[in-house]
């Protein structure tokens, strides 16, 4: 497979008569975009589109998802297959990327586990989306009593439609940079780079239900058995977030599109190891389902002759059991593992970090403690509804002060402890 990402670098946003890109500025026709998302009868009449730039005194909340604008300009299928377009395999051809831009879905809560993006101040230091030029969709349901699953789908599709619309409008602009990625088929990959260990990526997706959902080619991943996927398919929009889980470690659609584990493994492919493939698996709620998926996923890794796998988690608590089960089953098959997770160790950091563990899990990377408390100073502008700070996960009644100050755990900040590593937290060796 060969995928070309044709990138335009967005450095500024503005509203104008015609949506398009020129000289680093993405111009958005607000009415046209509003009309597009208002086509869904499940969304209310009081919809809005706003803009937020890095460094501005702006707070966006509650945030559901973040999506990078993309459009397929050559090749099979279309961006976000199974949600917008036909279900054709992506990961090949040419895809336009509005790098530096993002569509943020916000507004009336789908569920209490939504997040905060501050564009400046201490909160901005924890979310990667303080550095993107954000086109914010402020959404509401047409009926306050609407089924939450219907409203979640409406919000998810609105964000993805907006992202595709913005990129499509720029499809005739010559790319400023073209990144080319190649991935061999498994037959060729198995014999490539002799002497290097064969490594895969075991990609855990949040699928616990109750609005804890992720979509692969438009299919709810809790309905599938673990499967093999090219990393180029992931990079080209095969995975979309439908999650209403804690904001800090929710894998947004944007973070799937720009998965740093995949990016790093592709860079090291052929040098440090032979990156053979991704194995996508789910996170279930029953013990029987956990056993089924972990056994199947690790069986695939063994059938492919992998020497090692990187395993990334999404969420915390219940999914910790899936993470650990994947770990020890792989290790007992002779497959070395490295785990990617975050921690819920209490506000003082003294509690047990994970809900499960095993002796085999001796190589683990943490994205930080989501229970750490942070004080967010007032912003000059709030896009959305600041009062939701009192009910979102990581907040509590009284989190929002009268002057607009918000006191919350990092759990409430979008992407703060991303278990894909798409975060601004880091570490260094003393």
Count of CA atoms in the C-beta half-sphere (13 A) of 402: 0
Q: What is the DSSP code (8-state) at residue 123?
A: G
Name the region of 399 (left: φ>0; alpha: ψ -120 to 50; beta: rest).
Answer: alpha
Q: How far apart are CA 346 and CA 69, in angstroms?
A: 36
CB 91 within 8 A of CB 235: yes
Helix, strand, coil percent content, the chain, rounded in steps of 5 = 25, 35, 40
248 counts as catalytic = no
User: CA angle at residue 115 from 136 to 427, to 5 degrees?
Assistant: 110
Q: Which one of the listed residues 133, 170, 244, 248 is annotated catalytic? A: 244
**DSSP helix/strand/coil, 49:** strand
Q: Are 341 and 261 in contact (CB under 8 A)?
A: no
Q: Which residue in the block uniquely carries the two structure tokens 């002057």?
A: 403
**Contact assessment for residue 61 and residue 137, using Cβ atoms and an 8 Å cutoff:** no
Say how many residues make up the chain.
Answer: 430
Q: Which residues are catalytic?
A: 244
């Amino acid at each position: 497979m060969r995928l070309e990402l044709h990138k335009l670098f967005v450095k500024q946003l503005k509203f104008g008569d015609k949506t398009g890109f020129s000289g680093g500025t993405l111009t958005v026709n607000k009415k046209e975009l509003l009309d597009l998302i208002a086509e869904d009868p499940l969304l209310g009449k009081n919809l809005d589109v706003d803009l937020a730039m890095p460094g501005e005194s702006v707070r966006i909340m509650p945030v559901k998802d973040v999506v990078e604008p993309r459009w397929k300009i050559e090749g099979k299928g279309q961006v976000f297959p199974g949600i917008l377009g036909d279900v054709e395999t992506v990961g090949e051809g040419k895809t336009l990327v509005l790098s530096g831009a993002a569509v943020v879905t916000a507004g009336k809560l789908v569920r209490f586990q939504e997040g905060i993006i501050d564009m400046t101040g201490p909160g901005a230091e924890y979310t990667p989306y303080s550095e993107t030029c954000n086109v914010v969709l402020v959404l509401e349901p047409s009926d306050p009593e609407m089924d939450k699953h219907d409203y979640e789908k409406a919000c998810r599709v609105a964000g993805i439609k907006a992202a595709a619309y913005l990129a499509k409008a720029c499809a005739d602009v010559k790319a400023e940079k073209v990144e080319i990625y190649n991935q061999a088929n498994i037959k060729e990959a198995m014999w490539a780079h002799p002497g290097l260990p064969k490594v895969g990526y075991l990609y855990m997706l949040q699928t616990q239900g109750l609005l804890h959902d992720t979509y692969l080619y438009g299919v709810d991943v809790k309905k599938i058995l673990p499967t093999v996927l090219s990393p180029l398919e992931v990079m080209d929009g095969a995975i979309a977030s439908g999650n209403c889980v804690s904001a800090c470690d929710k894998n947004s659609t944007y973070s799937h599109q720009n998965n740093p584990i995949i990016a790093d493994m592709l860079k090291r492919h052929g040098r440090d190891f032979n990156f053979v493939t991704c194995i996508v698996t789910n996170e279930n709620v029953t013990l029987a389902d956990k056993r089924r998926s972990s056994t199947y996923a690790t069986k695939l890794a063994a059938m492919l002759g992998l020497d090692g796998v990187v395993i990334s988690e999404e969420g915390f608590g219940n999914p910790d059991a899936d993470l650990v089960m994947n770990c020890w089953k792989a290790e007992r098959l002779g497959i070395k593992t490295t785990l990617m997770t975050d921690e819920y160790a209490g506000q003082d950091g003294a509690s047990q970090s994970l809900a499960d563990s095993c002796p085999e899990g001796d190589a683990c990377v943490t994205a930080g403690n989501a229970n750490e408390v942070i004080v967010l100073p007032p912003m000059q502008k709030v896009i959305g509804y600041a009062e939701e700070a009192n009910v979102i996960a990581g907040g509590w009644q009284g989190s929002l002060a009268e002057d607009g100050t918000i006191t919350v755990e990092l759990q409430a900040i979008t992407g703060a402890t991303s278990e894909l590593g798409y975060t601004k937290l880091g570490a260094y060796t003393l």
